[in-house]
Amino acid sequence: MRKQILIVGAGFAGMWAALSAARLADKNNGQAIDITVIAPQPELRVRPRFYESHVETLVSPLMPLFDATGVTFLRGTVSDIHTDSRSVSWKDANGESHQHGYDRLILASGSHVNRSFISGVAEHAFDLDQLESAAVLEKHLQSLAKKPESEARNTVVVCGGGFTGIEMAMELPGRLRDILGSNAKTRVVVVERGPQPGSRYSEELRNVVIDASNELGVEWRVNAEVESVDATGVTLKDGQRIASSTVIWTVGVQASDLTAQIDAPRDRQGRLHVDANLQVVGHKEIFATGDVAYAATDDKGNHALMTCQHAILLGKFAGNNAAASLLGVEPSPYRQEMYVTCLDLGAWGAVYTEGWDQQVKLTREEAKKLKVSIVSELIYPPKAERTAAFEMADPYAPFV
């Protein structure tokens, strides 16, 4: 009887999990394992670039790659996980319901920004979390040019000064100039709960963020929290009001809701606790990977972040270990000691740091070149060529 590995999600983690499982099965004389991915689209959506324009182009097709590596793709959405019967319920693109059994389940259904907990955010704010919502934001920004000049039209408020908020904010002065003309008096305001711009980062990185903000004219409202958002702007908890037609929400990222269907410990963001082999605690037949996994990266207490840097490697280890557990092969414990960040800072350039203490190694144009090569080459899927794809899917293949 052929064994079934079922992967939910075709993002960075799901795609690499599929390739890595197929690689190990192939290495073990193509033993009888079926590898199936269920996801709404057979494409990798390059979420780290969603602050850019032309967002609809930031996808990469996966069917040729899955065909070349013997991975089956089912287009649809998983609604329920039945851990007792080892099966999932899913709906195809026509809305028809199906069941799919598994011997090993790899949950790789990613994350989403939560817009429901502050008044007016769901109705009036934009986000750049998913392709569809980022496309709505882009269309709205373009439409500003047709609206009458006003302070609200010319002001964009970015709620949250984490990496996503910073990259979006630094991109906006240039974007707004292109849309509204260089004479328009535009404002970009970041609303941040912390006491300084980038206060949750190292001092070195923070200073770079402050320098770039000053040079680009990006304002920060620090020690500030959003009370509510409406059609004409943002009200802060201290009563201050910022008139704006464009409020962008970047905080409160949560793991996919499917994690709640598995009876296992989860962290504050809903990520499932996993052991070193990425098996969900208490469920040897379920692996969690990418943004749904709370996984230790080393023995020093560091854990994977919701980044594609971690999702790619987590995916490779999860796929490998799911296949290993069916093949009777030793698993490979997940390790990712190296942690880097590369943050786009718009026309200022970029900044590249190394280590969990975020030592700044490159800035400005040098870092920008690296950023471009990371987001336009390194994180894209491999060529649809079996040998090359399997080589890269090896969890121990060189990676950052």
Ligand X SMILES: Cc1cc2nc3c(=O)[nH]c(=O)nc-3n(C[C@H](O)[C@H](O)[C@H](O)COP(=O)(O)OP(=O)(O)OC[C@H]3O[C@@H](n4cnc5c(N)ncnc54)[C@H](O)[C@@H]3O)c2cc1C
Please tell me what DSSP assigns to residue 237: T
194-to-62, 99, 130, 197, 199 alpha-carbon distances in Å = 40, 46, 26, 7, 6
Counting contacts by CB under 6 A, is residue 102 touching ligand X?
Answer: no
Counting contacts by CB under 6 A, is residue 13 touching ligand X?
Answer: yes
Task: Out of 6, 7, 10, 362, point to the residue binding ligand X (CB under 6 A).
Answer: 10
- Lookup: tokens for 164: 């996503």
The footprint of ligand X on this chain (CB under 6 A) covers a number of residues equal to: 32
Nearer to ligand X, 12 or 390 (CB): 12
Q: Of the ranges 5-13, 21-29, 117-125, 355-363, which one interacts with ligand X (CB under 6 A)?
A: 5-13
Task: Out of 7, 8, 324, 389, point to the residue binding ligand X (CB under 6 A).
Answer: 8
Q: Of the ranges 56-64, 98-106, 200-208, 306-314, which one interacts with ligand X (CB under 6 A)?
A: 306-314
DSSP string computed for 285-306: EEEE-GGGEE-B-SSSS-B--S
Nearer to ligand X, 23 or 153 (CB): 23
270-to-87, 162, 253 alpha-carbon distances in Å = 22, 19, 9
Counting contacts by CB under 6 A, is residue 294 touching ligand X?
Answer: no
Please tell me what DSSP assigns to residue 119: B
Question: From the CB of 340, what's the least distance to ligand X, in Å?
Answer: 9
Question: How many angstroms from the chain centroid is the CA of residue 330?
Answer: 30
Taking CB under 6 A as the criterion, which residues in 28-47 touch ligand X?
A: 38-40, 47
Three-point CA angle 44, 262, 38, nearest 5°:
30
Fill in the per-residue mask, 50 to 89: x = in contact with ligand X (CB under 6 A), - = not in contact: xx-------------------------xx-----------
Residue of 313, 332, 310, 312 whose CA lies nearest to 322: 332
Residues near ligand X (CB under 6 A): 8-14, 38-40, 47-48, 50-51, 77-78, 108-111, 128-129, 164, 256, 258, 290-291, 306-309, 311
